Amino acid sequence: QVQLVQSGAEVKKPGSWVRVSCRASGGTFNTYAFNWVRQAPGQGLEWMGRIIPTLDIANYAPDFQGRVMITADKSTNTAYMELSSLSSEDTAVYYCAGGGSANGAPFDYWGQGALVTVSS
Amino acid sequence: QSALTQPRSVSGSPGQSVTISCTGTRNDIGWYNSVSWYQQHPGKAPKVMIYDVTKRPSGVPDRFSGSKSGYTASLTISGLQAEDEADYYCCSYAGSYTMIFGGGTKLTVL
């Protein structure tokens, strides 16, 4: 059973950047895709992008293109999401979600979420 | 890319059936059979309940079923139980290696 453990809560200033990590255990890291999904307070889910570690290829949602970077470290089974030019609208819980690498594959495994608060 | 359209809320009594719709476009639901549904209880991470329109992951009760017609996918929950009260989100492949979620539906079990 795959488990995803994310880094802790962060408080950031507007204009800065944040990096959230997601460490996988209990499965074969390279066979999965790792997606990032965020949820603003009281709002719905929003897909940000994904990476397939074995291919080292990342894809991003149009709304985040140019502001987000998703990477993976195969040596530590860890995926990372970096979001820059933060504003108060980026205050949200950020989830990593693992699943198959095929296009459209469901998100089978979820991390516990990491709350990022952007405030001056 | 606009979010898929879901009703804000639905409700039903224990034992009844409810259906949640999810409407997209020809570029997502209308073209691909990669629709999934997620259940989210307050303060918890989402859980996949249906994938590839109609498939159920191991451990998900067969009270949950999915379907699709044209640009609209649907999740039906039969024999409603109190623990089904949650938020439900649809999600579809949208081409160009991207995914898109619906706005979410709050299910209330009366």
Mean pLDDT of all residues in B43-62 = 97
* Record: contact B98-A95, CB cut-off 8 A: no
List Cα–Cα distances, B41 to A56, A92, B47, B85, in angstroms. 33, 17, 9, 8
Mean pLDDT of all residues in B36-56 = 98
> What distance in Å separates residue B22's CA from the closest CA in chain A?
14
* Record: contact A44-B102, CB cut-off 8 A: yes
A28 band by pLDDT with thresholds 50, 70 and 90 = confident
Question: How many cross-chain Cβ pairs, A to B, lie less than 8 Å apart?
Answer: 68
* Record: contact A45-B89, CB cut-off 8 A: yes
Chain A residue with Cα closest to B93 = A104
pLDDT at residue B2 is higher than 90: no
The amino acid that residue A120 corresponds to is S
Can you say whether residue A57 is alpha, beta or left, with left for phi > 0 and alpha for psi between -120 and 50 degrees?
beta
Mean pLDDT of chain A: 95
What count of other Cβ atoms lies within 10 Å of the Cβ of residue B43? 7
Chain A residue with Cα closest to B92 = A104
> What distance in Å separates residue A96's CA from the closest CA in chain B?
10
> Nearest CA to B40 among A83, A78, A65, A107?
A107
Q: Which of B49, B98, B101 to mutate to test the interface with A (most CBs of A within 10 A)?
A: B98
Chain B residue numbers with beta carbons less than 8 Å from the beta carbon of A95 are 45-46
**Sign of the alpha-carbon dihedral angle for A112, A34, B57, B101:** positive
- pLDDT (tens digit per residue) in A36-87: 999 999 999 999 999 999 999 999 999 998 999 999 999 999 999 999 999 9
User: Taking an 8 Å Cβ-Cβ cutoff, which residues of chain B contact chain A?
Assistant: 1, 3, 32, 34, 36, 38, 40, 45-48, 51-52, 57, 89, 91-93, 96-104
For tokens 């009366």, the residue is B110
Helix (H, G, I), strand (E, B) or coil at B23: strand
pLDDT at residue A31 is higher than 90: no
* Record: contact A103-B45, CB cut-off 8 A: no
* Record: contact A46-B101, CB cut-off 8 A: yes
pLDDT at residue A109 is higher than 80: yes
Closest partner CB to B45 (pick from A44, A61, A110): A110
Tokens of A12: 């950031």
Q: Which pLDDT does position B94 carry in this prediction?
A: 96
Q: Which pLDDT does position B80 carry in this prediction?
A: 98
Q: Which pLDDT does position A1 carry in this prediction?
A: 81
